[in-house]
Structure 1
């Protein structure tokens, strides 16, 4: 979905006119019209405000141009799984289980690996296979990468 379609859908979902949406975002009705026509897209600060006002990630506002994965555990992310900062804004790097209100849940990769093995193992995926998979994946994620 394109940004213009996301904006139209959000405005309609919240039952707003272009004027009402413009007022909430401190812009003109013409700016909203240009976004909805696809002539322009909101600037960075307006995207941040829209994210907060409409409780959607900036990635969603931009039409989900990139697939997000948690940079701690590797889980694919959508808006319902994204973590939040202490001020309530989305953090698009982590899931809500690995990072909440400015705090990481797991103090070490080993602690996370133990959790994942105990919760992801089943009849089709034995613990050894789960551990091997995550032992390879986790060091590649942003949170666990060590600078060289």
Structure 2
């Protein structure tokens, strides 16, 4: 059975796509690796509080 994406993973993917950013662009803008962004979007991990703040500022949410 396929696992459903978490709300955080879904929202991060949706916000990135709405802003027309690649995972690499998001990673560069907030100072993390592209692999970290990919893991967040896949629901394999979640961003820490500092990265959550950086993402909120990047996406203006």
TM-score range, shorter chain: 0.7 to 0.9
Which runs of 5 or more structure 2 residues have no equivalent in the other structure?
Answer: 1-5
Return the index of the structure with the highest Cα Rg. Answer: 1
1:38 counterpart residue number: 43
1:28 counterpart residue number: 33
Q: 1:19 aligns with which of 4, 21, 24?
A: 24
Give me the TM-score of the superposition, normalised by structure 2: 0.86
User: Residue 42 of structure 1: CA displacement?
Assistant: 0.4
> Residue 2 in 1 paired to residue 23 in 2?
no
User: Residue 6 of structure 1: CA displacement?
Assistant: 0.4
> Residue 52 in 1 paired to residue 57 in 2?
yes
Greater helix content: 2
Distance 2:29 2:23 in 1: 10
Distance 1:31 1:51 in 2: 16
Q: 4+ residue runs of structure 1 moved beyond 4 angstroms?
A: none
Give me the TM-score of the superposition, normalised by structure 1: 0.37
Which runs of 5 or more structure 1 residues have no equivalent in the other structure?
Answer: 57-148
* SS of equivalent residue, structure 2 residue 20: coil
RMSD: 1.0
Greater strand content: 1
